[in-house]
Amino acid sequence: MLSKKFPKGFLWGVSSSAPQTESRKNRGVSNWDIFIDKNPKGDDYSNKICTEFEERYEEDIKLLKQAGIKSFRFSISWPRIQPAYNNGSLDKTGVELYNKIINLLIDNGIEPIPTIFHWDIPDWAGDFRDRNLAYRFAEYALKVTELFSDRVKKWIIFNEPSSVALLGYGTATFAPGIASKESMFAAIHHVNLAQGLAFKALRTNLPSDVKIGTTLSLSRTRGEDDSPENIEAARKAWEIFDAVFLDPLYGKGYPQDLLSSFEAYIKNDDMDIINSSPDFLGINYYCRLYVKADSDPKNFFGFTSGQAPKELPKTQSSFVVEPDGLTEILLYIHKNYNSPDIYITETGFALDEPEASHGVIDDSPRSQYIYEYLDAALEAISKGVNLLGLSYWAATDNWEWTSGLTIKFGLIRVEKNTLLRTPKKSLAYYSKCINENSAVEPDSEIDL
Ligand code: GCO
């Protein structure tokens, strides 16, 4: 019987991001503002307000403190820190906001773990088809980390380069809304280069006690059935969604059969720059990616999304509940990428929740799912994986990109219009796990 106990010092956290929680007030225009405003779908899908975290962070941090949360992974908004290039100078008001957030977290015994880039690019900086954006990003990353590295000891350079490059430039699903094979391969290489340049700049200039990592969205891919064409589709999906980011980061270069698609973009010592072997790897895991072959010549991926096993519980987002996939990816990374230190920087469940009744939001399925994923993480740890922490996505309900405010991941409810915060039952459950440093059986009595 596996112990339900996590190792001593396991870092329990919650995650969020600036573009999904901060309003547009007092910051520069971002690529996502432009993308959303091109095709407005009403207030439920607008990022104009989000949760006004930039004005209400004290209230949120107080709730995290009360719950015993040990770390808070948030992101710093590039458009807020550099609303215009201004010879590289930073906006004082924007800097002061993060100064206050970091200080308040530390004063409350919560470790700040900032993500430098969570997809929001100031409109003056361009987009990842342009190699120069990689250098602009690295210059910004160094300036912003030098400001706070006296107090911040873990930095996450990127959040999910795959989502940025594939969904932004390959499928037009995300900002800037491009669907082009050439643009996608250019963007993949340039986000890798941006990340590598930032790693080198931070490693050279930050204090030696600062740990530098980055976060990839990772899961082992599967065909929707075991037919040869769908097994091949899964191999292709692993290469383009995972390996083209993971392998160069760990010095393995691009997958051989995709190399020709990158040749136009690789220059000089790019691959040495990209090879960064981070101090820790952040993994965002929700569920496996299921695909099926697609021979349509217009689909340059060669596969399309497939059906997940029908017996898996569905959530309000496109993710199913699949804990064994978490164990699988953790063991795979451990075995194939030099047993790195790992933090799960995101895992979470969007639910169609009931309204509050007598001040309680009963999102019990979320507690059950958290328990199952904690159990899956414990299995990986028992097999030797250096899993050092887990951050639930998300601290509060927030703006879920093109799904807007309609999808709720949070441990804390944020009411539309009033922005009133209400802790959900799952926050009390997560708090109990933290307090016992264990995967607690969710049906045990939980004080609210
Ligand atoms: C991502 C992003 C988050 C999402 C979360 C839920 O992983 O896509 O980091 O911004 O909101 O994953 O989809």
Which domain covers residue 116, as residue numbers? 11-436
Report the predicted TM-score, pTM, of the whole model to 2 decimal places. Answer: 0.97
Residue 184 in any domain: the answer is: yes
> Which ligand 1 atom is nearest residue 393's CA?
5
pLDDT of 163-220, one tens digit each?
A: 999 999 999 999 999 999 999 999 999 999 999 999 999 999 999 999 999 999 999 9
Q: Nearest residue CA, atom 11 of ligand 1? A: 400
**114 within domain boundaries:** yes
The finding on whether 315 has its CB within 6 A of some atom of ligand 1 is: no
How far apart CA 195 and CA 161 sit, in angstroms, is 9
Cα-to-centroid distance, 196 and ligand 1 (Å): 22
**Count: domains in the chain:** 1
Binned at pLDDT 50, 70 and 90, residue 359 comes out as confident
Crossing angle of the two packed helices 323-336 and 364-382, in degrees rounded to 10: 30
What share of the chain has pLDDT > 70, as a percent? 98
Q: Active-site residues: which are they?
A: 160, 346
CA of 193 to the centre of ligand 1 (A): 22
160 lines ligand 1 (CB under 6 A): yes
Ligand 1 pocket residue status of 284, Cβ below 6 Å: yes
| CATH number reported for the structural domain that contains residue 281 in this entry | 3.20.20.80
Whether residue 115 has its Cβ less than 6 Å from ligand 1: no
Instruction: Determine the distance separating the centroid of ligand 1 and the alpha carbon of 320, expressed in angstroms.
Output: 14
Ligand 1 centroid distance, CA of 428 (Å): 23
- Find, among 354, 387, 346, the residue nearest to 118 by Cα: 346
Ligand 1 atom having least distance to the Cα of 284: 7
Within a domain: residue 441?
Answer: no
Whether 353 is in a domain gets the answer yes
What's the pLDDT tens digit per position in 298-316? 999 999 999 999 999 999 9
Distance of CA 118 from the midpoint of ligand 1 (Å): 9
| 35 inside domain | yes
Say which residue, 177 or 1, is predicted with more confidence.
Answer: 177
Whether 5 is in a domain gets the answer: no
**1 domain residue, yes or no:** no
Q: Which residues contact 268 (CB under 8 A, 6 or more apart)?
A: none
Hey, whose CA ends up nearest to atom 6 of ligand 1? 400
Q: Does residue 447 form part of some domain?
A: no
pLDDT per residue as tens digits for the range 418-442: 999 999 999 999 999 999 999 999 9
Mutate to test the pocket of ligand 1, among 401, 405, 406 (most ligand atoms within 8 A of CB): 401
